[in-house]
Amino acid sequence: MKQLRIRTLVGLFVVAGVLSWAGARLWDSFGTLPAVPVAAPIVLGLIAAVLAATALSIRSRLRAQRERRPGAKGVDPLLAARAVVFGQASALVAALVAGMYGGTGVFLVISQFDNPPRRDQAIYAGAAVLAGIAVIAAALFLERVCKLPEDKDNNRSAAGTA
């Protein structure tokens, strides 16, 4: 499984932000703009919390197993792989969603920040961007926790035979 790259996430964020900003400008020229849901930052925050809790749980179980504590439960490799895949998928979607809300928020701040309903929408969009960044951070932490250590013996034997 390949490690998630920050460049990919930043690229998705920027592209989604630019497209969302342009879409918001176009949509607003027709007279209306879809509202930013209040639940957007809440849902993203819950996903970040689930990812962080999963990472902390797996990390503590791995530490207990490494220290050979009595009664320590090991981590099923398939569970760890599924957790990493969930984290990577969540990070990719969060980068897209945060970019989308970021572009919309920038449009709202630039165009009509003095309008109270639009200001509230800009605040919700900003909170969604922050929550999306939290999802990405939690996913990267989960990926780091589940990363296998490098096998130094295999590297030495392969280098010695070459």
Residue 59 CA: distances (Å) to CA of 19, 75, 122, 143, 153: 38, 9, 37, 11, 24
Q: Give the global pTM.
A: 0.84
DSSP, collapsed to helix, strand or coil, labels residue 32 as coil
Domain membership of residue 24 (yes or no) is yes
Angle (CA) 155-159-157 rounded to 5° is: 60
Average pLDDT for 55-62: 90
Residue 91 CA: distances (Å) to CA of 11, 118, 125, 143, 153: 13, 28, 18, 11, 33
Residue 23 has pLDDT above 50, yes or no: yes
Residue 70 has pLDDT above 90, yes or no: no
Domain membership of residue 80 (yes or no) is yes
Domain membership of residue 47 (yes or no) is yes
The count of structural domains within the chain is 1
Give the per-residue pLDDT at 75: 78
Angle (CA) 76-87-69 rounded to 5° is: 35
Q: Tell me which residue range forms the domain holding 76.
A: 10-148
Is the pLDDT higher at 115 or at 129?
Answer: 129
Residue 156 has pLDDT above 80, yes or no: no
Domain membership of residue 46 (yes or no) is yes
Average pLDDT for 148-152: 61
Residue 151 has pLDDT above 50, yes or no: no
